[in-house]
Chains A and B, each alone.
Chain A
Amino acid sequence: AQSVSQHNHHVILSEAASLELGCNYSYGGTVNLFWYVQYPGQHLQLLLKYFSGDPLVKGIKGFEAEFIKSKFSFNLRKPSVQWSDTAEYFCAVNARGFQKLVFGTGTRLLVSP
Chain B
Amino acid sequence: DAGITQSPRHKVTETGTPVTLRCHQTENHRYMYWYRQDPGHGLRLIHYSYGVKDTDKGEVSDGYSVSRSKTEDFLLTLESATSSQTSVYFCAISETQGADQPQHFGDGTRLSIL
Shortest Cβ distance from residue A12 to the other chain B in the assembled complex, whole angstroms: 18
Known: A43-B107, A103-B43, A105-B40. 8 other contacts (CB 8 A): A34-B99, A43-B90, A45-B105, A99-B50, A100-B58, A101-B45, A103-B44, A105-B41
Q: Which B residues are within 8 Å of any A CB, using their own CB?
A: 31, 33, 35, 40-45, 48, 50, 56, 58-59, 90, 92, 97-100, 102-108
**Chain B CB within 8 A of A94 CB:** yes
Q: Which of A32, A43, A49 contacts B108 (CB 8 A)?
A: A43
Contacts A105-B40, A105-B42, A106-B42; is A99 near B105 (CB within 8 Å)?
no
Q: Which of A34, A99, A106 contacts B102 (CB 8 A)?
A: A34
A104 to B98, CA, bound (A): 18
The answer to whether B108 and A99 have CB atoms under 8 Å apart is: no
**Chain B CB within 8 A of A51 CB:** yes
The answer to whether A42 and B107 have CB atoms under 8 Å apart is: yes
The 7 closest A-B pairs by CB, nearest first: A94-B99, A32-B99, A105-B42, A103-B42, A103-B43, A43-B105, A44-B105
Q: Which A residues are within 8 Å of any B CB, using their own CB?
A: 4, 6, 9, 32, 34, 36, 42-46, 49, 51, 90, 94, 96-101, 103-106
Give the number of A-B contacts (CB < 8 Å): 56
Question: CB-CB < 8 A to B59: which residues of A?
Answer: 100
Contacts A34-B102, A46-B102, A49-B102; is A99 near B97 (CB within 8 Å)?
yes
Shortest Cβ distance from residue A46 to the other chain B in the assembled complex, whole angstroms: 5
7 contacts between A and B (CB under 8 A): A6-B42, A34-B99, A44-B90, A98-B98, A99-B48, A103-B35, A103-B43
Shortest Cβ distance from residue A101 to the other chain B in the assembled complex, whole angstroms: 6
Q: Which of A4, A43, A45, A99 contacts B98 (CB 8 A)?
A: A99
Q: Which of B33, B92, B98 contacts A96 (CB 8 A)?
A: B98
